[in-house]
Structure 1
Amino acid sequence: MASGRERPGRRRAWIAGAALLAVLAAAAGAGAWYGSDQSIKVVRHGTSNTRVLAVEDGLVTLEQTPQTAKPGTYWLEWSGAHTMLGDIVSRTPGRITRKVLRGPAPSAGTPGFFGNVPPGDPGVAWGIGHTEIMVPTELGPAPAWYVPGTSTTWVVAVHGQNGRRKAELKILPVVHRLGLPFLDITYRNDEGAPPSPDGLLHLGDAEWRDLEAALRHAQTMGARHFVLYGTSMGGQIAGQFLARSPLAGLVDRVIMDAPMLDVRMTAEQGARNLHLPGFVAGLSNQVTEWRTGIDTDRLSLIRHPPKVRPPLLLIHTVPDTDHPIQEARDLVAAGRRLGWPIRFEPFERGEHTEAWNVDRARYDRLVHDFLSPAQSSH
């Protein structure tokens, strides 16, 4: 009789356990799909994230947000205008006051976008003349900004995931002073560029072919050698180009800023940011592979370094919570074993791709010194 009374209890326990497992599986699946979206979904960003509270004597006071409270040099854009803002002068509860470094000041009450990338094109951002050219890619023409120079070594810049080419303009003043032509490209799924067949990002696995198309087009304009500059996912695109393109041998030097060096490590960091269990990162990569057909393991420049390995300047901020600095450290260790000349320059402050913002003088000096041999050798 006792065993008969226990059976219903056991049955209820099994049902409850099965229900819990179903809930956990559904939650893990939802987390994996969301993580995959964070990696490969095309996103267009908004236009306002703060408001001007006061303006006086070359100072602008903004609403305090996680963005406006960051140290360093940033830009405020509003209604087609922009200003460069310096470090924080003062702060009170809910208010951040910064110095105006360049450009007009907005009026109080103006909503604006506070960001870490230059506004507009080379002319708007730095007053440097340029033309817009169209690069013929396998999917159709993709726009690029071209700034002429006196050298046959060109700097070709590649922005990151869901970014815009204006993000690469931080190094333009240094490149221009050295006389190196500058080509700032777009690639599939960018605004103005053709979409990918599936409408998704491929984390460099396909985008490197658009970079190759840009270099081929640059050759028709007189380029003979190249320096690649890639930020965030742009670093992975540059790495896949070095691994797969027959033009890789024309690259003299590479600069990577906060690059995506290992898709798995990036996914694990994303899971940590969302306070999800570590195994969700693996599931997320599996979903990404299923949706795109890419091999995420192959997209590790640490485990699968490119065969062509020109000198690399690797810049990364220590607090980066998008692509953990451990990716950079692991690449340096791999490079040491392979004899790959990597100059690693960590910045103690700054979030993702904000090394220039927190210490422009040091960043510009590093880029200048690294590019000077390229300028003098061709």
Structure 2
Amino acid sequence: MGSRRAGAAGASPAAAAAVKTSIVALAGALGLTLAALGTVSMRVARKVVTPAGRVPDTELLAVDVPAQTVTLSRTDDTQLPGRYGLFTTGTASYVKVGAVLSLDGTSVKRKLLTQITPDDRLSAAAAFSGWYYDAPEELHLPFRTELVGSPLGPCPAWFFPADGPTGAPSDTWVIQIHGRGTTRAEALRAVPVFHAAGISSLLVSYRNDGEAPRSRTGTYMLGATEWRDVDAAVGAARRRGAKRVFLMGWSMGGAIALQVALNSAHRDLIAGIILESPAIDWRVVLDYQADLLRIPAPVATTAVRALDSDWGSRLLGLNAPIPFDTLDVVARAAELRHPILILHSDDDGFVPADASYQLAQARPDLVELEVFQVARHTKLWNYDPERWTRVIRDWLDRRAAGAGS
């Protein structure tokens, strides 16, 4: 024992210097690692809140003009049955595609539903879309373009009036709220089912979506501020004679709809909420996407902490931290007061259905969950329009019966 202590105390100056050098090197490496972690985490956090344009996600491999078919690179989305849209560039910016005609390991051939001529030239870089309709005129229903006054200024909207049971203008409205990185055109495919039910549709825009006014920072707040623009639309509906208002939110629009239901001064007007592939708990969504993109867990965790903190929000240029606890509607389930219909696909691929299941379990008295398979994110109408329409129509009929009782 004594000789070992003496040996340690008598270490040579060279050995002591080597130990000190190793400690300094390790500290430096740790510092660089933490700095790199912080840098990557902030990039991830910034991407979450920065509105982005449409990103090509498939390749247009061939167009057969005589047969009116298009061949696309095969992905989980491009191989889906049903009717979809394809954003591209060239002589056409948007074309519609229909049935899958054939597929192999790398490509999918689909029927073209938009006429393409020999003179047309389409870019190979394309984005596959569930919109199908990209302009209100395509519905062949009366509509008008309006402006909804919001806290940031006028927000463009489309209004599709419907007649009530007596033939007079309907006093029941639905406000359609599109998702992240899209516009109000996303919700056009939902208008016919509501119009047939005698419900007028208002398709709204909200801050930083590329159509509505830009906030000072120009960033998304994942529903924490956007709900105010939609709430302004609810108030406008009330002033124009609406007695009942449904909210329908798509993806991030679902998060916005839920915040309106929880915070609006017009909550008494809300008759129910329909959620399509909704973001109900953002932590679940961001964890899933980080795993999908193979982002290391420490990076993803640090990114969420940055978004939810004073220091992080300052570095990211946000007006305030993103309140993930406030946006977690599963945790706030006891506060809900309105009937909710959720439509979600188990293989959504972007917003997992976990929180939808959890909300349905937390509030079975209010929440009905209709689970799809295969349909992917916000493409449930495209994949199975008959079922999608029937589920919403039946749910609306039950609400109407309840209102009349």
Q: Same fold judged by TM-score > 0.5?
A: yes
| SS, match of residue 17 in structure 2 | helix
Match of 1:36 in 2: 45
Q: Which of residues 76, 81, 86 in structure 2 aligns to 1:76?
A: 86
Return closer, same or farther for 1:27/1:331 CA change in 2, 3 Å cut-off: farther
- Answer yes or no: is the 8 Å Cα contact 1:255–1:314 preserved in 2: yes
| SS, match of residue 297 in structure 1 | helix
**Displacement after TM superposition at 1:143 (Å):** 0.3
Q: Deviations over 1:137-168 (max 9, x none)?
A: 11100000000001211011001112111111
- Answer yes or no: is the 8 Å Cα contact 2:208–2:214 preserved in 1: yes
Match of 2:110 in 1: 98
Between 108-117 and 138-147, the greater mean CA deviation after superposition: 108-117
Between 105-114 and 247-256, the greater mean CA deviation after superposition: 105-114
Return closer, same or farther for 1:326/1:308 CA change in 2, 3 Å cut-off: closer
Return closer, same or farther for 1:357/1:6 CA change in 2, 3 Å cut-off: farther
Q: Which of residues 176, 180, 183 in structure 2 aligns to 1:157?
A: 176
Q: Which of residues 294, 300, 319 in structure 2 aligns to 1:281?
A: 300
Match of 2:389 in 1: 364
Match of 1:60 in 2: 69
- What is the root-mean-square deviation in Å for CA atoms of aligned residues? 2.4
Return closer, same or farther for 1:248/1:21 CA change in 2, 3 Å cut-off: same
| SS, match of residue 298 in structure 1 | helix
Verify: 1:302 aligned to 2:330, yes or no.
yes
Match of 2:166 in 1: none
Q: What percent identity do the matched residue pairs reach?
A: 27
Letter in 2 for 1:120: D
Match of 2:5 in 1: none
- Answer yes or no: is the 8 Å Cα contact 1:52–1:110 preserved in 2: no
Matches within 5 A, 1:105-120: 105=116, 107=118, 109-111=121-123, 113-120=127-134
**Displacement after TM superposition at 1:86 (Å):** 2.1
Structure 2's unaligned 5+ residue stretches are: 1-9, 164-169
Letter in 1 for 2:25: A
Letter in 2 for 1:98: R
Matches within 5 A, 1:183-332: 183-289=202-308, 290-291=312-313, 292=318, 293=320, 294-305=322-333, 307-332=335-360
Return closer, same or farther for 1:156/1:223 CA change in 2, 3 Å cut-off: same
- Answer yes or no: is the 8 Å Cα contact 1:239–1:306 preserved in 2: no
**Displacement after TM superposition at 1:311 (Å):** 1.3
Verify: 1:128 aligned to 2:141, yes or no.
yes
- Answer yes or no: is the 8 Å Cα contact 1:347–1:355 preserved in 2: yes
Return closer, same or farther for 1:306/1:138 CA change in 2, 3 Å cut-off: farther
Letter in 2 for 1:274: L
* Rounded Cα–Cα distance in structure 2 between residues aligned with 1:47 and 1:260: 23
Indicate the structure (1 or 2) with the bigger Cα radius of gyration: 2
| SS, match of residue 363 in structure 2 | helix
| SS, match of residue 327 in structure 2 | coil
* Rounded Cα–Cα distance in structure 2 between residues aligned with 1:296 and 1:207: 14
Q: Deviations over 1:111-132 (max 9, x none)?
A: 25432213432213x2223101
Letter in 2 for 1:315: L
**Displacement after TM superposition at 1:54 (Å):** 2.7
| SS, match of residue 211 in structure 1 | helix
* Rounded Cα–Cα distance in structure 1 between residues aligned with 2:60 and 2:295: 33
Please report the TM-score for the alignment, with normalisation by the length of structure 2. 0.84
| SS, match of residue 148 in structure 2 | strand
- Answer yes or no: is the 8 Å Cα contact 1:203–1:237 preserved in 2: yes
* Rounded Cα–Cα distance in structure 2 between residues aligned with 1:333 and 1:48: 35
| SS, match of residue 76 in structure 1 | strand
* Rounded Cα–Cα distance in structure 2 between residues aligned with 1:57 and 1:238: 46
**Displacement after TM superposition at 1:214 (Å):** 0.5
Letter in 1 for 2:101: V
| SS, match of residue 22 in structure 1 | helix
Letter in 2 for 1:316: H
Return closer, same or farther for 1:95/1:273 CA change in 2, 3 Å cut-off: closer
Letter in 2 for 1:132: T
Between 205-214 and 3-12, the greater mean CA deviation after superposition: 3-12
* Rounded Cα–Cα distance in structure 2 between residues aligned with 1:332 and 1:81: 40
- Answer yes or no: is the 8 Å Cα contact 1:35–1:270 preserved in 2: no
Aligned length: 373
**Displacement after TM superposition at 1:301 (Å):** 0.3
* Rounded Cα–Cα distance in structure 2 between residues aligned with 1:306 and 1:42: 32
Match of 2:26 in 1: 17
| SS, match of residue 198 in structure 1 | coil
Please report the TM-score for the alignment, with normalisation by the length of structure 1. 0.90
